[in-house]
Copies of this chain bind each other. A is one copy, B any other.
Amino acid sequence: MKKIVGSPGTASGMLLRVGQCGFSAASIGVMAFTREFSGYTAFCYLIASMGLQLLWSFGLACLDIYALRRKRDLHNPVLLSLFIVGDWVTATLSLAAACSSAGVIVLYDRDLGICSAQTHLPCTKFQMAVAFSFLTWGLIAISSHVMFWILASI
């Protein structure tokens, strides 16, 4: 089985997982610090989706660290299939959450001009949380493509 950049059990794979954990935690942190998020379904969904992503990426980062320290090979077809399903599900949910929240923010900021009219709304924090969620999605998209490529080329 090929060992390419970002594959499980390698340092690059672990770095991708750590990056996903970091950006998803940052997205949750920034969004949860605003009190207003609970009134918006899209923002609640963003927190739930980023929470799931954080748990998934943290678990796989621990597995990568274990594989690196014990020099174990994680290129097992059953394990890879499990990683692929998880990666694709979390990647799709992360993109959906980021885009639905971005849709709400663009509506408030550009279409209705609510952000400039109601200055108590923490629009900048909402935007930061969405930006972090897009970064998380970018990294999980790389991971999921690498996994799919490895499994398909067996």
Contacts and interface: CB of A to CB of B under 8 A. Distances in A.
A104 interface: yes
The majority secondary structure among interface residues of chain A is helix
A54 interface: no
Interface string A98-112: 011111101100110
A107 B41 CA distance: 7
Interface in A100-154: 100-104, 106-107, 110-111, 145, 148-149, 152-153
Contact of A103 (B42, B148, B152): B42
A42 B95 contact: no
Interface residues on A, range: 20 to 34
Given A100-B100, A103-B100, A148-B148, A41 B153 contact: no
Interface in A25-45: 39-42
Contacts of A110: 41
A63 interface: no
Contact of A111 (B41, B95, B102, B103): B41
Nearest to A154: B153
A106 B100 contact: yes
Nearest to A105: B103
